[in-house]
Structure 1
């Protein structure tokens, strides 16, 4: 297959990256139609070239074995975490802010970066809404809670769940990415603490701002949702260890019983959350279906349009992407972990990190057993690059733009698209350079 088959995938990702920034209102009203158009530009020529049956089987395989589980998990985490409310207010001193960031980052690998961001961003903003300098708090929140903190489990960030669906063990990332995560997250948190302390001291000589939300006791509401989150984790672990050998075939696509059971349980838990959560808690979180609806529509198109890209990558040096494959390989044919980390990360900064992860996962061979053992450092490089560098721009990971929009709505003077990149370039890139030299050289 030629690279022409990758054009719909590239076009869709560029639309996702540029649409919200260049033609925001048109994108908000028509992103679903744009997604369908790119998918149709691929599927119709595929049918003409390879036949209806083979095309249908390929598309169904992507949607039924990967997309369905992917979106059900995101829906459940989004729904359940939306019923948990952190009420009350505390004063945002440097140590308190660092503590909140640490809690949010740890939470991200349990309820996902989207869930942790939605739970923690409003308490974070309330704690600092009487400070003249508070935009940096939200910027570091995006760094740590919306991205880096989600690197330890498939629940944390979409690319890692895509890897889990491809056969990567649930706790593989916990073991193999933990040292890198502790280093990167720890240094970023230390930089924040120094910067916030300096700015906090500088604020001492400025006129006082009346606190819009005076300090009050912090309470966690919606606690019935906590065991539901535990149930989601249990369902995923069940699907990883229970292999009954029973499957259902749909037009050549094999659906294993353990995966169907996992998805059904997770979906039921999300529906239970809707039934048991109090409406006022979701209202206080400004919970609505807009973000998850957008993710569902866009990723349906992504999983369809990536089908020929995966096929080309599987051809390796015999395929149309041989030059890219050669960039991530040494002269002896071994994978270049440093190149995998940076190429995955750079593309994840501007494109969606889940399909970017999948592209490089396939480029590294696509065999999870091989990648988890002989080439464990390569899989670690791909995983870390996709998760960490999603923090480089507002469009690198779904929660980034959501946090940005919430902060601006609540009066935080957030940096623009390129202003944010100055922050990430100054803080994150040097840390990533050192990290890659330590772990992937």
Structure 2
């Protein structure tokens, strides 16, 4: 069955998007074409009210205008202008016989501009950049370009249609909006994410709950039996298969969606608090998600060992893709007083995490894992390679992930380091996911250079 994907595009860009999607199959496209920003919100509302969408591809400007009318769990991809788009715009200038610098660039991130200008050996001091910011107006961007090129020489590269229209006739200007290949890549990634989440939601999952070592064998037996009854009495696990695993463990088998509800999308493990309060024992929880029940159990056992090594009640998730999420702390059901306040905070943070994950275009589990890595770093910087190792992904994927985090204000560039005597320096980044979740920082873009 094909997926229903919505696309929100400016009328002047419709042809580019049509070229990008003409070779794709297995998806049904629902178009929203707008001419002015004021039209975006009502058009998108009509789209989501009238169709059961599986995903939405929407640019940064229209996303800002319509995000409050989007369904909470709708997967959304917000394309960002890439190094390829900038390189092609610079090549257009060369074809027209323009000097490569000075050039004033908006929307592109500092890191992308630095990467491309370094590769093309351009004089970086003659390149100015204004990264995308939700609060920027068209007039503000145009004023930036006019200040940057106040002597009248040079040209502008912009990814904003309204800026392109307003500057024509006043300055030389080129369109740096995503090209068909970039759009096609973003759409592929969105479709893959939707299909992966669907497959994961209907797939097997397992949980292994281990009672901490303590006291005499009889005490351990009673604790394990108490834990077994506690899990069987948990409403979210009503449809799960729960059995005594012997020694110190209890095994739970079910669909992934069941465990996601139980853990509030892999944020907390409420039963840990309940076991401590009602049974007086410390419990470690391991969750595994794989293509079969057998694989899921193996992964859950490994995750439980990882959780036990923390020497505190917590849980870990391990997927067959190599993704590890944790530590997940205790978090019981709403009660009274301070306990209820803490539960409300946990729930609010879970809502913020899901919203932030959707905005960035990552899964909740991935962003949760990144938040845990940031906690382990304790303010230290990280290289793309180090992040890739921590996430169990390839180095190129680590670089792409950091570029995506940086583009959304969830990581800041902190210079570079020469990790090897030979070769190019590698970038240093500081993660800022916790600040975005707690609201302790505004996540604004870096200042222009």
Normalised to the residue count of structure 1, the TM-score between the two structures is 0.30
Asked which structure has the greater RCO (Cα within 8 Å, sep 6+), the reply is: 1
Higher helix share: 1
